[in-house]
Amino acid sequence: MPELAEVEFFRRRWHEAGHGHRVGRVRAHATKKTFREAPAARLSRALRDTVLTTSAARAKQMAFCFNATRWLGIHLGMTGELFVAPAGYRPQAHDHLALELTEGPVLVFRDPRMFGGVRWHEGPDEPVWWSRIAPDLLSPDFTPAALAAFLTRRARAPLKAVLLMQERFPGIGNWMADEILWRAALHPARLAGVLTPAEQRRLYREIRQVCRLARVKIAGEGGPLPADLNVNIPDTWLFNHRWADGGRCPRTGMPLIREEIGGRTTCWSPGRQAL
């Protein structure tokens, strides 16, 4: 479910309910695959009586910092979500981590498929699982030249597969890749190495634009947190049409096509994205 903007949405949910609050009991299901990279027992003890000071999202990863020295990393995988439950909440089958705030609600991490996971670090310095995430696509590090160089290196892979590579496009997932290619009028099966300079410019512009808009519409950047995911996404986006059977392109009105490209189900508009 979660790509960069959804991840930011969930981070804000926990942060707005929990920042400045003290942690009481922590329930961490150590036997679950969710904790394959984090010491559940140690983490539960070390978080008790700490205060949530800061948090941030990078790509599809979140970091919640307690007392500025305890780093709780969360990756939502395919089905993960964060929510805030009332005090006294009893964790359910797929709730792998629950932080009970003293005199407050419970912060819950749920993930039925368990492709997500928890990471942990103690100390004031950034852990590698946080610092080695590729620079944000809206930062000055992501330049047209950097895009061009990457397209050259991945010349024989389809654009759809290339956009999913986190080493260069941190936070982009299946729906964002489709949205970007649709707006840029590029067929997802086109090989990365064959784009004209004009096509590269369109791709660059739409990567940035979709990142910007997704953060505003989904995570409510610059305003209040939306009540839920996706409630603010306009019907002018491909997003609202790509899963519907019989879905039509909001720009051409023609039926959309769904097929597997680059190993993932891909939706594209035949009138707009020529091979």
Partner DNA sequence: AGACATGTTGCTCA
Partner DNA sequence: ATGAGCAACATGTC
Report the distance separating Cα 202 and Cα 182, nearest Å.
11
3-state SS string over 117-170? EEEEEECCCCCHHHHCCCCCCCCCCCCHHHHHHHHHHCCCCEHHHHHCCCCCCC
| Whether residue 16 lies in the annotated active site | no
Tokens of 145: 């030249």
| Whether residue 60 lies in the annotated active site | yes
From the candidates 154, 251, 264, 270, give the one annotated as an active-site residue. Answer: 264
| Shortest distance in whole angstroms from residue 239 CB to DNA | 8
- Shorter beta-carbon distance to DNA: residue 123 or 243: 243
| Whether residue 135 lies in the annotated active site | no
| Shortest distance in whole angstroms from residue 7 CB to DNA | 9
Binding region for DNA (CB under 7 A): 1-3, 6, 33, 59-60, 75, 77-78, 93-94, 112-115, 153-158, 161, 164, 166, 173-175, 192, 229-230, 243, 258, 262-265
- Shorter beta-carbon distance to DNA: residue 104 or 170: 170
| Shortest distance in whole angstroms from residue 202 CB to DNA | 21
For residue 194, count CB atoms less than 10 angstroms from its CB and return exposed for 0-12, middle for 13-18, buried for 19 or more.
exposed
In 3-state terms, the chain is what percent helix, strand and coil (to 5)? 30, 25, 45
| Whether residue 6 lies in the annotated active site | no
Q: How many angstroms separate the first and last alpha carbons of the chain? A: 28
Give φ, ψ of 137 to 5 degrees.
-70, -15
- Shorter beta-carbon distance to DNA: residue 104 or 242: 242
| Shortest distance in whole angstroms from residue 123 CB to DNA | 22
- Shorter beta-carbon distance to DNA: residue 33 or 251: 33
**Which residues are marked as active site?**
2-3, 60, 264
